[in-house]
Structure 1
């Protein structure tokens, strides 16, 4: 759980059918919900509200806009701690079937979570992602401006991955609201309503210094001061994996990896 950029003040996008194929939400699994809340409040300035799903779930707010879901169920449900992007689809059951047909895995769902349906999938190289059908948690344009700058898939073969996701999520299908896909500077670039919302990057992941790295989606959050966020992360139990003047890759105290960037347009 998306072609020109619409001016502010135009009609809000409220359905996944209007932004089909674009990232529309991000979620995090956690072992310790209070510690997770404290960390992201310190690093990204988020505030919190209780989600309708129960005491184990929270909605993160940036300047009052819902931007992410946090689920304190990693231990309870024996799930990995990780950030997961959700992509908008017109029909979750059909998208899950297309993923299976193309070598992907359906780990959970599709399940009904009013006002929509969700499923957790993995592509044929093991990268985990979600799909969401139905009403969005908030206006899509407001969500895009408030938190995630974009998401990036690190995988072995960007072209092969683009075929898989393009067919599953109906990218470049010609349907109303579908995403545009182009190959630029050795990356696959996904645009929705004129904005870059995702990138797919090839790489020899098995040769990475960290042997635990495998194909995965990385969520990039836009921040105004990368250095200050890095300092806050270290002070609150996080780990800095890489740091540059405009971007840093961090792990929260639970081990979930994410990127902060000062570049709104990747």
Structure 2
């Protein structure tokens, strides 16, 4: 969600190495691509919908209506939808702690190739009050660890929950967020991590094109940087291609 599509494309194009094609949702939408593979969607509707500029992860579900009902039944919020969204149906929601996310049900066949083995176009970290409670909420809503074919699996590493889907690490869930914290990095939120070949170069490009560095973390074998785009959207660049070796929260 952003305010101006052209400005967002001028920023994320050089920073991420993305190209853009018009989306099917109207002239205020475009699809970001890495090579021939769609990796993200950008919609210049933050002002129209009166919502914050933000990156929102969408989770694939088998039935958007059933999943939306599960969210409500477990004291989450469904803000928009389910409604037609690209080649499927989607909805915007928030969990019990206020972290925003989306759900999406595919209704047309996929035509794009998957990411290369061992790599992801993006991976996620949920900062929340209690990782255990959040794992129960999302597990019940999204059928994680349900035993059905194709479901995501959940494991535990120290104080974090690790979510794996199709043999690929998808997300980490960390405890310690504070609902009323003024700092957006401390409030419950889904953090979108975009792998890049060179974090330092991508940060320099982001700053050159109007972005600002919020936080930078590094260790011997990994580096990540959290930034704001010129419109205020929070995102993270990382040279870690899946959460298995991700930096600690």
TM over 0.5: yes
**What is the aligned partner in structure 1 of residue 160 from structure 2?**
187
Q: CA RMSD in A?
A: 1.9
Once the 2 structures are TM-superposed, how far is the Cα of residue 210 of structure 1 from its aligned partner? 2.2
Q: Could you tell me which runs of 5 or more consecutive residues in structure 2 were left unpaired when the two chains were aligned.
A: 244-249
**What is the aligned partner in structure 1 of residue 169 from structure 2?**
196
Once the 2 structures are TM-superposed, how far is the Cα of residue 114 of structure 1 from its aligned partner? 5.1
Give the counterpart of 1:98 among 70, 74, 89.
Answer: 70
| Whole-angstrom distance in 1 between the partners of 2:102 and 2:208 | 31
Contact 1:84 1:128 in 2 (8 A): yes
| Whole-angstrom distance in 1 between the partners of 2:110 and 2:32 | 11
SS of equivalent residue, structure 1 residue 75: helix
**What is the aligned partner in structure 1 of residue 247 from structure 2?**
none
Q: Which deviates the most, 237-246 or 97-106? A: 237-246
**What is the aligned partner in structure 1 of residue 246 from structure 2?**
none
Give the counterpart of 2:140 among 167, 180, 202.
Answer: 167
**What is the aligned partner in structure 2 of residue 259 from structure 1?**
236
Contact 1:151 1:198 in 2 (8 A): yes
SS of equivalent residue, structure 1 residue 84: coil
| Whole-angstrom distance in 2 between the partners of 1:139 and 1:146 | 14
| Whole-angstrom distance in 1 between the partners of 2:176 and 2:80 | 28
**What is the aligned partner in structure 2 of residue 77 from structure 1?**
49
SS of equivalent residue, structure 1 residue 172: coil
| Whole-angstrom distance in 1 between the partners of 2:5 and 2:85 | 21
Relative distance call for 1:200 and 1:229 in structure 2 (3 A) is: same
Give the counterpart of 2:32 among 27, 36, 60.
Answer: 60
Q: How many corresponding residue pairs?
A: 237
| Whole-angstrom distance in 2 between the partners of 1:109 and 1:101 | 16
Contact 2:97 2:179 in 1 (8 A): no
Give the counterpart of 1:147 among 118, 121, 131.
Answer: 121
| Whole-angstrom distance in 2 between the partners of 1:173 and 1:126 | 24
Q: Which deviates the most, 49-58 or 242-251? A: 242-251
Once the two structures are superposed, the pairs formed by residues 114-263 of structure 1 within 5 Å of their partners are: 115-134=87-106, 135=108, 139=112, 141-142=114-115, 145=119, 147-148=121-122, 150-205=123-178, 210=183, 213-245=186-218, 246-263=223-240
| Whole-angstrom distance in 2 between the partners of 1:154 and 1:191 | 17
Relative distance call for 1:212 and 1:244 in structure 2 (3 A) is: closer
**What is the aligned partner in structure 2 of residue 39 from structure 1?**
11
| Whole-angstrom distance in 2 between the partners of 1:209 and 1:98 | 30
Q: Which has the higher contact order (CA 8 A, sep 6+)?
A: 1
Once the 2 structures are TM-superposed, how far is the Cα of residue 205 of structure 1 from its aligned partner? 2.9
Once the 2 structures are TM-superposed, how far is the Cα of residue 263 of structure 1 from its aligned partner? 1.0
SS of equivalent residue, structure 1 residue 81: coil
Contact 1:63 1:146 in 2 (8 A): no
Once the 2 structures are TM-superposed, how far is the Cα of residue 141 of structure 1 from its aligned partner? 2.9
SS of equivalent residue, structure 2 residue 242: coil
Contact 1:119 1:132 in 2 (8 A): yes
Q: Could you tell me which runs of 5 or more consecutive residues in structure 1 were left unpaired when the two chains were aligned.
A: 1-28
